[in-house]
Amino acid sequence: MSRAGLKDVDTLLLEVGAGLTRIALRRDGALIDLIVEAAGHESRIGWIVLGRVIEVSHGLDAAFVDIGEAEPGFLPARTARLLKPEMPAGTPINRLVTQGETVLLQQVKDASAGKGAALSADIALHSDHLVLTPRLAGVAVSRAIPGKAERARLRRAALDAAQALGLPKQEGVVLRTSAAGQTAEVIQAELEALAARWRAIQARAAAAQPPRLIDRPPGALERLLPHLAPGTDILCADLAGHTKVTRWCEAHRPELLERIVRHRGEAPLFEREGVEEEIAAALERIVPLPGGGALVIDPTEALVAIDVNGAERDPRDAAFAAVPEVARQLRLRGLSGLILVDFPRLDRRADRDRLIEELRTALAGDRVATQLLGFTRGGLVEIIRPRDRDTLAHQLAQLRAG
């Protein structure tokens, strides 16, 4: 979760139960994201696993890898090449891995619908301001950091830190947007911690037999807290959650301590704050819009169709009023893939351009990099939203099923 994905969050609500953690993110009193972590159902994105190649597919130019899950993981040749960096781009999979070979990989997508997890040899270890890429050399600086001088300063700080720590040449560093303004000492300290983590991962992998989980990143709460705005309210439903977030903030972000509040009352926090009601609404096909009209959301195997029903409203007003709710529902429901939105017809080119720009701005706060492709020839707005986890509906269905 990036800082950009949390810039519009003003309240975090936390509920820690037996085997289940729920984190609700709100903006101006409206639920914009819900993260559910349940034992046995948590996302495995970012996990580092030691696997065994069980099949090499020439047709798919990929390998299937046993990582201890019900379905084997999928490793495409384009990332498997980093296992043998001396090989040129475009090297076929059969020259990169062999059946029975042990490989250390990172999971980049969860398994779903009978498909195994997506795996990558391009391992990335994250800290607050850096990413260590132990198989991809070089120093990269986020383009979102303003000013050539600042980017150059950060690049030099990372290079100096890498040299001081004796980082191998094949290992690289990415300076995240949040690195802006950080001192060289902070950069070096984080890089040293990441390098130590990578050495520990290598040691555990060398002593293990596949399939085996070697390393897992921090949980959702620990990934969110570093990027909350200083004025974000943190409401905890229980003592367990309050203790957990307080201890973390004492160690990492003491400025947030005064914003932490433990809920005390007869009604559960999520119920009192209306979150339970909003979760139930996020499972409905029809979403009422302020001022009249509604969104009709129909996920299918091939795409997600959203119809903006303006009722008796002026088409132009209905279209622009629907924009923030379309963006909110995509994020909240975790909808992904090809998304087609049928807005009320806009005859003027200027209105269509304005709608696209307003929608682009609304989508910018998403936790994943969503692509807005614009109007199709048929007049629909086309969006591509990468899948980073199961939909909210699927997560809640799994929990109900036990």
CB 93 within 8 A of CB 80: yes
Roughly what angle, to the nearest 10 degrees, separates helices 315-333 and 349-363? 20
Number of neighbouring beta carbons within 10 Å of residue 287: 20
Question: What per-residue confidence (pLDDT) applies to 104?
Answer: 98
Sign for the CA dihedral angle at 242, 245, 249, 255 comes to: negative
Q: DSSP 3-state assignment of 250? A: helix
- In this chain, the answer to whether the domains covering 4-41+219-276 and 48-120 adopt an identical fold is no
Question: What per-residue confidence (pLDDT) applies to 2?
Answer: 47
301 Cβ contact list (under 8 Å, min separation 6): none
- Domain spans of the chain, in order of start: 4-41+219-276, 48-120, 125-215, 284-392
One digit per residue, pLDDT tens: the chain, 402 residues?
Answer: 444 456 779 999 999 987 789 999 999 999 999 988 876 667 788 999 999 999 999 999 999 999 999 999 999 999 999 999 999 999 999 999 999 999 999 999 888 777 899 999 999 999 878 999 999 999 999 887 889 999 999 999 999 999 999 999 999 999 987 788 999 999 999 999 999 999 999 999 999 999 999 999 888 898 889 889 889 999 999 999 999 999 999 998 999 999 999 999 889 999 999 999 999 999 999 999 988 999 999 999 899 999 999 878 899 999 999 999 999 999 999 999 999 999 999 999 999 999 999 999 999 888 777 889 999 999 999 999 987 777 888 888 877 765
Question: What is the pairing mode between strands 138-141 and 102-109?
Answer: unpaired
CATH code of the domain made up of 125-215 = 3.30.230.10
Question: What per-residue confidence (pLDDT) applies to 25?
Answer: 95
* Burial class (CB within 10 angstroms; exposed 0-12, middle 13-18, buried 19+) of 86: exposed
Question: What per-residue confidence (pLDDT) applies to 113?
Answer: 72
Q: What CATH class is the domain 48-120?
A: mainly beta
Assigned CATH topology for domain 4-41+219-276: Nucleotidyltransferase; domain 5 (3.30.420)
Question: What per-residue confidence (pLDDT) applies to 290?
Answer: 87
pTM (predicted TM-score):
0.69
Question: What per-residue confidence (pLDDT) applies to 278?
Answer: 93
Dist. CA 79–CA 121, nearest whole Å: 5
Assigned CATH topology for domain 284-392: Aminopeptidase (3.40.630)
Number of neighbouring beta carbons within 10 Å of residue 265: 8
